[in-house]
Amino acid sequence: MKDEISENEWLGERGESSDDQLLSILTGGAHLPKKVIGSSESHSAESMRYRCRGSLCSNSSESTDLEERVYERWKEELLRELQPGNGQKARVESLKKIPGVGPVLALRLVAAFELGRRSSLKRWNLGDPFLSSRQVFEHLEWSLAGDRREHFSVLLVDVRHRLLANRTVSIGSLTASIVHPREVYRPAILASAAAIIVAHNHPSGDPSPSGEDVKVTRRLHRCGQWLGIPLLDHVICGQGEWYSLRDLQSGPWERQTEG
């Protein structure tokens, strides 16, 4: 068994690597099917669970096919546990329970996945304008993904909707008593912001607004009108999706039907 992988072996003919090749790189080039199944001297209960789950049990004449099917199940579970539905610590703990994945490899996999995820996101810098609710979501997603607590953020913008600052007002359940207009608008006044955009995440992954979300938004919108610092939008971040109260004409932006 080789200890190293050549550039051609993992880049492939088109210069792009497959999931299998990427996993092989991150795990140091080990032959993972054999590593998961284990040696003849030692078969842990966890390894046997993988071997005999569903239709995986087989006779000795099909050992190669068994090995590949075990590996596919192993890869499927590993990639599932890497998804950012939980925090990084929870993902590491889940990965450590998978046969063949120890604490060092679990940390390495989560770190590599997180770097790749963050590099694919567009994070706004000071001076960049926000032109849509999607941009607000993309700016905040990298920091909110997988967090099991609600974070309420205020984006301070100038007259051209360029980012001046990003402030976290509260962490915890979103209620009118916690998200007070005074705490939301204080940083806007100190920064001489022309307007604000507020956003928070739903740890459940569903960005649909609750009744409390709408209530808080209406209150902040009224205060913004009094202060001359308008609330441009309230964006709720979910798992890979978002809800803009302004885009969907909800809360203070709800159209009034003519009587």
Q: What is the pLDDT of residue 54?
A: 42
| 32 and 92, same domain (yes or no) | yes
Domain boundaries, position 86: 7-119
| 147 and 242, same domain (yes or no) | yes
In terms of average pLDDT, the best of 42-51, 81-90, 168-177 is 168-177
For residue 125, being part of any structural domain is answered with: no
For residue 258, being part of any structural domain is answered with: no
Domain count, the chain: 2
Beta bridge partners of 237: 201, 242
| 83 and 52, same domain (yes or no) | yes
Residue 208 has pLDDT above 90, yes or no: yes
For residue 1, being part of any structural domain is answered with: no
For residue 185, being part of any structural domain is answered with: yes
For residue 43, being part of any structural domain is answered with: yes
Give the residue from 119, 148, 176 where a domain finishes: 119
Give the residue from 96, 119, 142 where a domain finishes: 119
Are the CB atoms for 136 and 130 separated by under 8 Å? Answer: yes
Q: Give ∠ CA 61-64-67 in degrees, rounded to 5.
A: 120
| 248 and 143, same domain (yes or no) | yes
Q: How far apart are CA 219 and CA 40, in angstroms?
A: 67
For residue 124, being part of any structural domain is answered with: no
For residue 230, being part of any structural domain is answered with: yes
| Span 148-164, average pLDDT | 91
| 59 and 141, same domain (yes or no) | no
Q: At what angle do helices 103-119 and 63-82 cross, to 10 degrees?
A: 60
Closest C-alpha among 22, 52, 20, 55 to residue 37: 52
Q: At what angle do helices 19-26 and 63-82 cross, to 10 degrees?
A: 80
Phi–psi pair at 36, nearest 5 degrees: -70, -45
| 166 and 199, same domain (yes or no) | yes
| 77 and 173, same domain (yes or no) | no
**DSSP string computed for 49-81:** HHHTSTT----GGGHHHHHHHHHHHHHHHHHHH
| 60 and 148, same domain (yes or no) | no
Q: What is the pLDDT of residue 176?
A: 53
| 188 and 104, same domain (yes or no) | no
| 108 and 142, same domain (yes or no) | no
Closest C-alpha among 180, 189, 174, 198 to residue 246: 198
Give the residue from 90, 119, 148 where a domain finishes: 119
| 247 and 137, same domain (yes or no) | yes
User: Residue 219: which CATH number?
Assistant: 3.40.140.10
In terms of average pLDDT, the best of 41-55, 91-105, 129-143, 183-197 is 183-197
Q: What is the pLDDT of residue 218?
A: 95
For residue 154, being part of any structural domain is answered with: yes
Residue 44 has pLDDT above 80, yes or no: no
Q: What is the pLDDT of residue 57?
A: 47
Are the CB atoms for 153 and 255 separated by under 8 Å? Answer: no
- For residues 42-65, one letter each, b for 16 or more C-beta atoms within 10 angstroms of the residue's C-beta and e for the rest, the string is eeeeebeebbeeeeeeeeeeeeee
Closest C-alpha among 157, 152, 207 to residue 176: 152
Phi–psi pair at 179, nearest 5 degrees: -90, 85
| 77 and 138, same domain (yes or no) | no
Q: How far apart are CA 225 and CA 243, in angstroms?
A: 23
Q: How far apart are CA 167 and CA 154, in angstroms?
A: 5
